[in-house]
Structure 1
Amino acid sequence: MNRIECCPVDVALVSEQVVASVTSDSLTLFSTECSTVLETYRANSIVNVYADKDHIHMIGAKPLVYTVDVENSAVESKEISSLAMICCSDFLREENKLLLCSEDLSNKVVLLYDVNTHSVVNKFKTDREVTSVKFRSKNFEVMTAGKNGIWKIYDIRGSSQNPVSTQYDLGGQLRLQGHTGSVSYCLSHVNGANSLYTWKGQGRPQKRWEYSDREWFVGLLPGDNPDDTFAVHGFFKNAQAIITSTKNLPAHKTKYFHKYGTKDESGHFCMNELNKKTFVTACKTGIVVQSAEFSVPDYAKHTARLKDAVRKQKKRMFEDVEHKEMEKVRIRWETEAKKNEGLNVFDTHLSEESFEIGGTLGAGSFGVVFKATSKKTGKDFALKVMPNRCSVYTEKFVTERELLIQREMSHKNIVPMYAAFQTKLSVFFVYEIMNESLQDVLNKKKPMLLAVNETAWLTECVASGLCYIHKRGVLHRDLKPDNILYDKNGLAKISDFGVATDERHGTICGSPGYIAREVISRQKQTPALDCFSLGVILHRSCVGRTPFELPDGHVSDEYVTKCKYSPPVSMNLSVREVTTNLIKKSPSERWTAKQVLYSQLVTDFQHQREYNLQKLVRDNELLSSKDVNTCLNLPLTE
């Protein structure tokens, strides 16, 4: 099954690989395998579309018949002068015949139109109440259905003025009719109830099924033999489409044949089937393409090969798109770096000789971090070392971007950068030395997790830092436990702005498990993506794993894209409130960092901290200012 996002008026299968979709003013050809647009054509007042293996025929209300040659993309339009506005139509693919219905002064006129010669083959008058015309099995058998409840079957081989007809009064209003295999069907609506009738050419139509307006029905599909038919129907309330053998229709609530999901609750309004192999249904939010071979023991297994081919095609397309995106990024970075050419953004009073470099502290997204001691002051720093590739514009831009962003940052919850200098081989960033990362804390605590007060403290620190950078239009884009560091007093700070950027550019970056769905889907990136990462970090700190982590430890992009988050019952209610409002599919529905600061989790912790401080001051009047600051910064101990 494959879904194509669009808003069609009608659909038709050109082949098993191509589906045609029309709106009122355009025709679009989509690939059924990877949902990509193949061609687009403009037209006016389109009401229906039909297709054979070589051509696509669009019916305009004016009346016009547009014919598109699939092979050479040529478009031809023919006006039918003998008709007024077309109200309904049908197409017999095997014989390339169109059935058109138009209204004259007193009656409705039905025309048999040959699309090969663009000529009217036959013509007859019918009731003014007719709202639908369809071919039966041959081009000389025509069915009409109307608002008066009369279902007529015409044989137009004789006189066109007075064709032979058989009619049945089904009552109510006839809303839908069609023919599949050896079965004709018609839908009657009476007093809020819908009745499906079938007819095999003899006797009276048989009432097969009655359903309410809470359900919808779009048509019948053929099975392996002429007597096998399957109904495509569903319920409005749960947006599910069901494919049921007509033999099981009365009991479909407990026994259905196949079911597949849709995103639209208004029901499918049209469908098209090709050679009993493929069929499409259309609703307001798109087109669903899937196999029409239902008479198999295991439909899911039968369609697995098709689904696998679709996945592989989408992967190839994604890789191609990713390559093009990276090329755009490279060009943009080179352009930005050239603007700063000749400017020195580094400090000149420092060099590698100014520090005594010690052991490795860790590795960032673009460099390695060492412990370094200033030879002049004896103070310890964290020295981030990156290869000096500033002759390459992309690397030059990455380096200068981190330097410029960090120089602008001055906040208690962001690791400060004191200086930056370069040599021929390396670029150096001088940061405040930190005690440990959140990842180190979580590793030490295994199998234990962060306590609620520790989680509240972490939430307050990170949310405060995010508020600061988001207010300045900067996105971190790689928030994870490794990039949240604690100083010696236990204050959590955000570090590593190597992939940070402003809000204008939407490239893929970040760490698996912590990146939001809009990054994977290449949608516009906003501060909400950092808030999503914060929610994942809090879940990881309280549960021991990320929310979309598979049993083998890998993270499924599909799970992240669907973003169906369910926090464990054991999670603290205040923490659960924060994670549930951060890990949301839609960026607009997520809490902002400022909203997190006003959450119950953070405010309760702040109130408790202030109460403990006041109590401590009362108990010890000689409390130093250093002790007060420590109380204000450190989380409560249990």
Structure 2
Amino acid sequence: MSQKIDRYEIRGKIGEGAMGEVFQAYDTQTERDVAIKMLSARSLQGDHLKRFKREARTIANLEHPSVVPLYDFHLTEGEEPPFLVMRHMTGGTLADKIRNGPLPMDEAYQILRRIGEALDAAHSRGLVHRDLKPANILLDQDGYAYLADFGVVKDDMAAESLTSGGQPGTIPYMSPEQIKGETLDNRSDIYSLGVVVFEMLTGKLPFAGNLNTIVQGHIHEPVPSVFTIVDHLSEEVDEVLRKAMAKEPTARFRKASHLSRLLEAASQSPSAYLSTRDALANSADDESEFRLAYPPIKDVSDTAPSPLLPGTVKSSETRRWQLLAAGLTAVLLVFFAWFGLTQVNQDQGVVAINPTSVPTATEIVETVSIPTIEIPEQTPIPDTILVLQEASSAIWQSGDEVERIPEDGR
């Protein structure tokens, strides 16, 4: 490759990914350093080129202060490969920073706040990032965070699919529904953001090990309590992360900004956490978002009961009236039954009625067993790993590529 592309002088290589390489360059026209993301020759066909063009359009139309800005692009094939020209971030990636250990809460919150704002902006336009991870969060020289890499973004308004059966993303940060190949919305990004925050605060992933262990963890296992890893983190912080990483999408935050605001309050005090949660609940379109809590996994036998969630008093009072009404109804039914039987006995000389044996509640409750996902120990081809086996399909990973293959192989 030559040392100059168009008006850009290549100064050095920054990194590389599945689709191409990133270089530091100098713009001779604007006289500033830039980063050039260049599509590799092997990626010029099929989904990679489509993703590359989608990324350029997405960033150009998003225009958010917490999204890495796009300066220029070249998308046609010719003597020069397709490339994007973006702001050069000298602070590295969030992944680089986490390698040095957990981040202080204040620093983690500032990163979360900016990335949360960028995600909310993308979600409001019907975009789902689908590959949110520390390596895709870049830092400038002052430590400000920027969201990057929209190459596998899902556009709800787009008619075409970015992949033909593949499942883009990075498994350690994927939501359960993304791993299983289900329909995604913004709450999948909320889950991934929760994983990123967990890693920022603890220096560890919530689910680690081989790919099979990670997949099973995201789908089935509870989120580890953060205060068992970093003892100064509070139960309120733990509850926020559990909600962000709830297995069911409907149990998560609807907005990334709700996650960041509640985490900030949780890091201050229990009272600040409760008041912020109540304020967000009162302003939310669906208050049930803040009536779902995920208590930490710990021994609570010698602890005081947790404070009531917003709306609990009202629902408890309603249940008491319902139980009272049901009790009165039962008394009346017994009375009328007794009165009727008495009249029958008097008129027809009935001596007694043999009671019918009624099964108890435990006798009629059926135990429903949830089948576990069994992953056979096999490898179809070298360097290809079976990640998840289901009834009608399977997820395989080969290098950086993750693909779902139906049972019939089509």
The TM-score by the shorter chain falls in which range?
0.5 to 0.7
Q: Name the CA distance, whole Å, in 2 between partners of 1:430 and 1:416.
A: 9
Q: Name the CA distance, whole Å, in 2 between partners of 1:405 and 1:383.
A: 17
- Of 229, 236, 261, 1:598 maps to 261
Shift of 1:494: 0.5
Tell me if the contact between 1:532 and 1:582 (Cα under 8 Å) persists in the aligned partners.
yes
- Opposite residue 155 of structure 2, the aligned amino acid is D
SS class of match (1:577): helix
Q: Compared with structure 1, are the counterparts of its residues 394 and 542 closer, same or farther at alpha carbon in structure 2 (3 Å cutoff)?
A: closer
CA deviation string 1:205-236 (max 9, x = no partner): xxxxxxxxxxxxxxxxxxxxxxxxxxxxxxxx
- Of 92, 96, 102, 1:440 maps to 96
- The structure whose residues are more often strand, as a share, is 1
Shift of 1:594: 3.0
Q: Name the CA distance, whole Å, in 2 between partners of 1:400 and 1:576.
A: 39
Aligned residues: 252
Report what 1:536 is aligned to.
Answer: 195
Report what 1:581 is aligned to.
Answer: 243
- Structure 1 segments of 4 or more deviating over 4 A? 388-391, 504-507, 552-555, 602-605
Tell me if the contact between 1:549 and 1:556 (Cα under 8 Å) persists in the aligned partners.
yes
Q: Name the CA distance, whole Å, in 1 between partners of 2:232 and 2:217.
A: 21
Shift of 1:391: 6.9
Tell me if the contact between 1:475 and 1:501 (Cα under 8 Å) persists in the aligned partners.
yes
Shift of 1:542: 1.6
> Quick check: 1:368 aligned with 2:21?
yes
Bigger Rg over Cα: 1
Shift of 1:507: 5.3
SS class of match (1:584): coil
Q: Compared with structure 1, are the counterparts of its residues 395 and 507 closer, same or farther at alpha carbon in structure 2 (3 Å cutoff)?
A: closer
Q: Name the CA distance, whole Å, in 2 between partners of 1:562 and 1:414.
A: 33
Q: Name the CA distance, whole Å, in 2 between partners of 1:386 and 1:399.
A: 8
Tell me if the contact between 2:20 and 2:39 (Cα under 8 Å) persists in the aligned partners.
yes
- Structure 1 gaps of 5+ residues are 1-350, 606-638
Report what 2:220 is aligned to.
Answer: 562
Q: Compared with structure 1, are the counterparts of its residues 553 and 522 closer, same or farther at alpha carbon in structure 2 (3 Å cutoff)?
A: closer
CA deviation string 1:386-436 (max 9, x = no partner): 036797353442222111111102111110111101543511100001021
Q: Name the CA distance, whole Å, in 2 between partners of 1:391 and 1:453.
A: 43
Tell me if the contact between 1:388 and 1:425 (Cα under 8 Å) persists in the aligned partners.
no
Shift of 1:374: 0.9
Q: Compared with structure 1, are the counterparts of its residues 587 and 458 closer, same or farther at alpha carbon in structure 2 (3 Å cutoff)?
A: same
Tell me if the contact between 2:207 and 2:218 (Cα under 8 Å) persists in the aligned partners.
yes
Tell me if the contact between 2:226 and 2:233 (Cα under 8 Å) persists in the aligned partners.
no
Calculate the TM-score normalised by the size of structure 2. 0.57
Shift of 1:515: 0.4
> Quick check: 1:424 aligned with 2:79?
yes
> Quick check: 1:412 aligned with 2:65?
yes
Shift of 1:460: 0.7
Shift of 1:461: 1.3
Shift of 1:353: 3.1
Shift of 1:553: 8.6
Identity %: 27
Tell me if the contact between 1:563 and 1:583 (Cα under 8 Å) persists in the aligned partners.
no
Q: Name the CA distance, whole Å, in 2 between partners of 1:366 and 1:481.
A: 18
SS class of match (2:172): coil
- Of 517, 539, 548, 2:207 maps to 548
Report what 2:9 is aligned to.
Answer: 356
Calculate the TM-score normalised by the size of structure 1. 0.37
> Quick check: 1:503 aligned with 2:165?
no
- Structure 2 gaps of 5+ residues are 269-410
Q: Name the CA distance, whole Å, in 2 between partners of 1:602 and 1:469.
A: 25
Q: Compared with structure 1, are the counterparts of its residues 509 and 417 closer, same or farther at alpha carbon in structure 2 (3 Å cutoff)?
A: same
Q: Name the CA distance, whole Å, in 2 between partners of 1:604 and 1:545.
A: 19
- The structure whose residues are more often helix, as a share, is 2
- Opposite residue 519 of structure 1, the aligned amino acid is Q
SS class of match (1:513): helix
Tell me if the contact between 1:417 and 1:430 (Cα under 8 Å) persists in the aligned partners.
yes
- Opposite residue 588 of structure 1, the aligned amino acid is T
Q: Name the CA distance, whole Å, in 1 between partners of 2:95 and 2:45.
A: 33
Q: Name the CA distance, whole Å, in 2 between partners of 1:449 and 1:559.
A: 22
- Opposite residue 387 of structure 1, the aligned amino acid is S
Tell me if the contact between 1:368 and 1:386 (Cα under 8 Å) persists in the aligned partners.
yes
Q: Name the CA distance, whole Å, in 1 between partners of 2:168 and 2:127.
A: 15
Matches within 5 A, 1:213-362: 352-362=5-15
Q: Compared with structure 1, are the counterparts of its residues 602 and 372 closer, same or farther at alpha carbon in structure 2 (3 Å cutoff)?
A: farther
CA RMSD of aligned residues (A): 2.6
Q: Compared with structure 1, are the counterparts of its residues 603 and 367 closer, same or farther at alpha carbon in structure 2 (3 Å cutoff)?
A: farther
Tell me if the contact between 1:387 and 1:425 (Cα under 8 Å) persists in the aligned partners.
no
Q: Compared with structure 1, are the counterparts of its residues 545 and 398 closer, same or farther at alpha carbon in structure 2 (3 Å cutoff)?
A: same
